[in-house]
Structures are given as C-alpha cells and as structure tokens.
Amino acid sequence: MKINRHGRAKILSVEEIQLLFNEGLTNPRDRALFGICLYTACRINEAVTLRLTDVYNRKGVLRDEIIIRKENTKGKLATRTIPVISDLRSLLMNYYPSPRTWFLFPGRHGKGYINPDSAARILREACERLDIEGVSTHSFRRSALTQMSNAGIPLRVIQEVSGHRTLDELQKYLEVSPSQVRGAVSSLSMLSHVGKPTYNDVCSVSENEEKTISGELPF
C-alpha cells in the first residue's frame, strides 16, 4: 500500500505509530508482531519466521535479545541479535502463544507461521480504519532506521541493526525530511556575499569637535 511514494514505504510519524498501536491493531499478537518490526527494524519475513525460542528461553522467560536467524534474512547474510527495549518488552509480555507451537506467530490452526501477506492485510485494514495512507509492513523498518539516523547514530552501528550488506544499501532506506533540507540550505548563510557591517575602532574628529568634547570653546 505505497501511494505516491515512488515505490517506497511511508515513514510513520509518532502520532501515526501511537494511533496504530492504540486503536488500529486490535489484539496482542498483532501489536507484538508489528512492535518487533518497529523496535528491531526487521523485515516482515524476519518477524513472522521467528521461532518461539528466538524470543523466549526454555523456561518461557523473555530474552534480553531477539535472535534473527541467518536463514530467515534477506540474502542469508548473517544471524544478528537485537536488544529488547522496554517498549517492545511490554508488547511481548502481553503476548505469549502456546508453548507447543514452534513459531512465535503461528499460522492458521497452529501450523507453520503467519503468512507475510496476511500480516500485510492486517496492517492495511488497520490503516484504512484510521485513514492513514501510504503505509506498508516495510514502513516500520524504514521509520526505525530513519529515526536512528536522525538521532545521530553512526551508519555503521545502524547497519548492525538493519543487517544491510553495505552502507550504500542502508542509505537508500533513510528519508530526509523537508525541515532537514531547509536547515541544510539555511546553513549556507555562512557563505553570505553581503558581508557583515564593520566599525572603525578609532573615530576621527575635527580639532573644534575635540575642544567641544573636552569642554573648551573655540575662539
């Protein structure tokens, strides 16, 4: 559902994220699923193929890091682990599937995992209810990576989170806002051709003016 964005998923605002999680996504599973997409910056396929043991240990305790396995990543480059921040932890604490399931987000009748297309439909219906356009499952990943970049996190560090092969691939995900462009152009005022007004340190005055200033009157 990418509308007038040249094939790129929309970057979500804070207000839109809050609307989606508080009003659009109607059950703990959906909030946990898209919370993982947002707070780990992972792809939808990486989220739906998470095993139960990638998120919880054998005792059912939530791990401090989520394991995104190499075989489920795009290009099968490398396994990566993403810390679970408090916002994601609260979503996962409210969702825990049957311990008899293999995947964190089991498919219909508990078989396999939820299809990425089904996840996309869930999100699309939520956005339609809220009248939010241009959003796709990839919006969470782009929003997360752009937020990290705007916060000044070095690209090499962001790459560890995103799992991109190169920094060039990562930079394609990042969106520049109009305010950032205005700020960049405004910085060019330092190159002003007008120049700054200057003032002489010593002002020249006439002999009569000097006498007047000193209290003497000219004859």
Averaged over 135-164, what is the pLDDT? 87
Residue 83 tokens, joined: 């810390």
**pTM attached to this predicted model:** 0.76
Q: Note the pLDDT tens digit of each residue in 40-86.
A: 999 999 999 999 999 998 888 999 999 988 877 776 777 888 999 99
Which residue type occupies 111? K
Cα–Cα distance between 20 and 132 in angstroms, integer? 9
Q: Please determine, for residue 214, whether its predicted confidence score (pLDDT) is greater than 60.
A: no
Give the pLDDT confidence score for residue 109 in this predicted structure: 76
Residues 1, 126: Cα–Cα separation, whole Å: 12
C-alpha distances out from residue 169 to 156, 163, 166, 174, 179, Å: 12, 10, 5, 10, 24
Q: Residue 43 in contact with residue 74, Cβ under 8 Å?
A: yes
Q: Which of 116, 99, 137 is nearest to 2 (CA)?
A: 137
Q: What is the pLDDT of residues 181-212, one digit of tens each?
A: 676 667 667 766 676 665 555 555 455 554 44
What SS3 string covers 134-165? CCCCHHHHHHHHHHHHHCCCCHHHHHHHHCCC
Residue 37 has phi, psi (to 5 degrees) of -60, -40
What DSSP designation does 112 have?
A: S
Predicted pLDDT of residue 184: 66
pLDDT at 126 exceeding the cut of 60: yes
Quick check: 117 pLDDT over 60?
Answer: yes
Q: In sequence order, which ranges of 49-132 are alpha helices (DSSP H)? A: 86-93, 116-130
What domains are defined for the chain? 14-159 (1.10.443.10)
Residue 9 has pLDDT above 60, yes or no: yes
Task: Give pLDDT tens digits for 168-185.
Answer: 777 776 766 677 667 666
Question: For residue 187, what pLDDT is reported?
Answer: 67
Q: Given this model, what pLDDT does residue 219 score?
A: 42
Phi and psi torsions of 48, nearest 5°: -70, -25
Q: Is the pLDDT of residue 1 over 60?
A: no
Classify 95 in phi/psi space as left (phi over 0), alpha (psi -120 to 50) or beta.
beta
- Give the 3-state secondary structure of residue 81: strand
